[in-house]
Amino acid sequence: MVIGCTHLDQNEKSTGMTTEAINIKLDSLRKTIEHHNYLYYVKSKPEISDFEYDSLYKELEELEHQHPHLIVPHSPTQKVGGQVLSEFENFPHSVPMLSLDNTYNEQELTAFHNRVVKLLSHNEITYTVEPKIDGVGISIRYEEGILRRALTRGNGEVGDDVTVNVRTIKSIPSRLHPENPPPIWEARGEIFMSKKDFAKLNEDREANGEHRFANPRNCSAGSLKLLNSAEVAKRPLDAVFYTIGEISGTKILSQKHLLDRLKQYGLKPPAFYRECQSIDEVLAAINELESIRDQFPYELDGAVVKINDFSHQRELGFTAKSPRWAIAYKFEPEKAITTINAVTIQIGRTGTLTPVAELEPVSLSGSTVSRATLHNFEEVARKDIRIGDRVEIEKAGEIIPAVLRSIKDSRDGSEETINQPLNCPVCQEPVAAIDDEVAVRCTNFNCSQQVKERLIHFASRGAMDIETLGEALVELLVDHNFINNPDDIYNFSIEQIEHLKNYEGLGDKSVEKLLLKIEESKSNPPWRLLFGLGIRHVGAKSSKTLLKHFHNIPTLALASKEDLVEIRDIGPVVADSIYEYFRNEKNIAILERLKKSGLNFSDDTKKIQNSLFTNKTCVITGTLETYKRDDLKNKLSDMGANVTGSVSVKTDYLIVGKNAGSKLQKAEKLRVKIIHESELVEMIKCP
C-alpha cells in the first residue's frame, strides 16, 4: 500500500494534477471519444473531422501512458488488442441462443402466420421485417453499463468467451451510452465483415502471398477465434444487434422499442426495418428487401419476420429449438448466365484434382465473377458440362461460385468435352480414385504442387503460424529446391539464406524476419504441429483433442486404432488415417528431423494440484487488486477448480472484488459461499 501511495504522489508531482483530477480528465476524454464513435458507427453522422478525432484519441493515449495504473478495460485505447490466449473458455448462456426455423416460399410463411393466429386466438398482430445477416452470432453482456463478457453462439447453451477480441471491434461500445444504464443488458446480434472491407483484406493477403479467405462469414468467424487480440484488431470486423438475452432494471415492450433502445445505448441496429400490419405487408417488405439486398454493406441471405409485441412473444413461447414468434425467410441464392472459356485443374495438398471453370466475367451478387468450381469430374459428367457451354452459376456464400447446369439449347457443336485426366497436369504421374472416393488424386507424393500446398498449410496461421512464409514465398522456395518437407524450413543453409536475400521483394530485413518467425514457431503448442502435418481428416479441433488425451506426439504415434477410437470425436476413419500416418517411414523420418530441430512435441499442461478448490465450481466478480482476472482463473484451474461465468445453484464459491454487481446479489440469494479477495489470498496459500 505504501508503494502505491508513493507512486501516485510521484505522478501527481509530474503532471501538476491530483489523481482525482486526472481521473476526471480521462473519463471526460473517454466519454467524448465514445460519443463520436457512436455518431460515426451507429448514426453515420460524424460531427468532427478525422484530424480532430485523432487529436482527442492521441491526448487520451498520452495521458494513459503517463498514468498506466489508471487505464480501464473499457477505454477506447484498449481496442488495439494485445492479449494472447492459449484457448477460449466456455461459459453457459444466461438465456439459450436458439436458432430460427426457416421458410423458403410464401405458402410456408402464410402457414406460419396461421399458426400464430391460432395460438394467440386473434389476428390483431403486428410483424417486423429485418435483414437476415450472414454473420457470426454473438451475445455481449453489459453489467452496470460496462462490457463484461462476449460469447459466441456455440451450441446454443454454452459459448466461447471471446471478450478480449470483441473489445477490439470499434463499433461495439465498451460501455453503454446512458448515464444510468440497466444493471444487466445482454445484446445479441451478428459479427460481420463488410463486402468492401473483405475484398480489400483479400487483396492485401494475395499481395502478401497468403491464401484468400473463402467468404466474409468464414473470415469473420476465423478472425473472432484468433488467440491474439492484436491480430483481431487488424481485421475490419463490425456488428449489428437485433435481440436481447438477460436484462434487468428496464422493460422492453416491442421489437421496435428494442431497436430504438439498442441505438440509444450505442449499439448498431439493422439498417432496414419495417413494421407490418398484415401478412401481405410482410411479403411486400420481404420483396422490397430482396430487391435492394446488393446495396447493403454486408451479405444477406434472407429476411427475419418477428411478432412485434413482446407480450405476444411471451405468450407464444418456444419449441425445443426455436421461438414460435419468429421465422427466417431465406432468399434463393443469386444466379447468373455466362460462358465457360476454359477449364483449369487445381491440386490440393492431398493430391485431389479439382476442375475449375474459367468464365466469361459476369456480375453476380455485386461483384465480378470469372471462376466457378466444377467440384469433381463425376459431377462434370453427370451434368454434361463442356468447354464453350453457356452455363448457370450460383453464388451461395462462397467466393468461387458453383456451376449449376449447362444450357444445352444454346450449343452450336463447337463445345469440347471435359475429360478426366489420366495424368497429373503438374508432374505427369498417374491419377487414381482411392478407396472408392468420387475425387481423383495425383499418386505422386512428391508432386511439386502437392509439396507446395502441404507446406503452405504447415506454415499457415491456423497451423504453425509462420508469418511471412505465405503462398508466394513457398512457391519460390520449392521451385528453387530449397524446401520440400516441413523439416527443411528449420534447416536453411547459409548459402540458401544468402541466395534468398538476392530475390526481388526480399532482402536482409525480410529474410531476418522470416528466420525469426521460423525460430519462434518452434515453441508452438504441439497440437499446431500435429495439425500442420496435414494428416487426412485431422483438423485443428481433433488435434487439440488428441494432444489433450496423449499429452505428446510420440505417445500418440504409438497408439493403436483401438486406443484412438475410444477418444471422443475420433471415429474409425480418422483413427485409420492417424494410425497409417505414424507407420509411414517417410513421415517418421520427417518427425525425427523436426524433433532434432527443436520443435515442441509435448503438451506442457500442468498437473492439477489438490487444494481447497479441487472439484469446486467458482465464479469471479468485481474488480480485483491482488490478481489479474485471467491469472486468477488459471491459478484456480491449476488448483483443480472449475471456473465459470455465472452464478447458479451449482456454484461453490463466489470470489468477490470491489464493486461487485448482480452476481453477488444472486449468490446471497442462493446462499453460495462468498470469498472476499483478502480471504482468497490466504486460501490459495493453504495446501
Could you give the CA distance from residue 55 to residue 43 in angstroms, rounded to a whole number? 22
C-alpha cell at 107: 405458402
| C-alpha distances out from residue 295 to 50, 130, 361, Å | 26, 15, 21
C-alpha cell at 14: 509530474
Instruction: Let me know: does 33 contact 53? Beta carbons within 8 Å.
Output: yes
Could you give the CA distance from residue 342 to residue 215 in angstroms, rounded to a whole number? 24
Could you give the CA distance from residue 226 to residue 609 in angstroms, rounded to a whole number? 30
The count of other CB atoms within 10 Å of the CB of residue 347 is: 22
Could you give the CA distance from residue 401 to residue 392 in angstroms, rounded to a whole number? 10
| C-alpha distances out from residue 30 to 24, 27, 300, Å | 10, 5, 34
Instruction: Let me know: does 162 contact 151? Beta carbons within 8 Å.
Output: yes
Could you give the CA distance from residue 353 to residue 424 in angstroms, rounded to a whole number? 8
The count of other CB atoms within 10 Å of the CB of residue 91 is: 21
Strand pairing class (300-307; 127-133): antiparallel
Vertex 634: Cα angle to 538 and 222 (nearest 5): 40
Active site residues: 132
Vertex 269: Cα angle to 212 and 293 (nearest 5): 55
Q: Of the candidates 622, 620, 672, which has an alpha carbon nearest to the alpha carbon of residue 650? A: 672
Task: State the greatest distance between any 2 C-alpha atoms of the chain, in Å, as a whole number.
Answer: 91
| C-alpha distances out from residue 536 to 375, 433, 451, 487, Å | 19, 15, 15, 19
Q: Which residues of 516-545 are buried (b: 16+ CB within 10 A; e: fewer)?
A: ebbeebeebbbbbbbbbbbbeebeeebbbb
Q: What CA dihedral angle connects 315, 321, 326 and 329, to 10 degrees?
A: -160
- Please report which residue ranges of 551-674 form alpha helices under DSSP H: 553-557, 561-565, 572-581, 585-596, 629-638, 662-670
DSSP state of 40: I
Interhelix angle for 50-66 vs 19-37, to 10°? 150
Could you give the CA distance from residue 312 to residue 307 in angstroms, rounded to a whole number? 7
Q: What CA dihedral angle connects 31, 35, 36 and 38, to 10 degrees?
A: 140
DSSP state of 606: P
Q: What share of the chain is helix, strand, coil (3-state, %, to 5)?
A: 40, 20, 35
The count of other CB atoms within 10 Å of the CB of residue 359 is: 22
Q: What is the 3-state secondary structure (H, E, C) of 76-141?
A: HHHHHCCCECCCCCEEECCCCCCCCCEECCHHHHHHHHHHHHHHHCCCCCCEEEEEEECCEEEEEE
Residues in the chain: 687
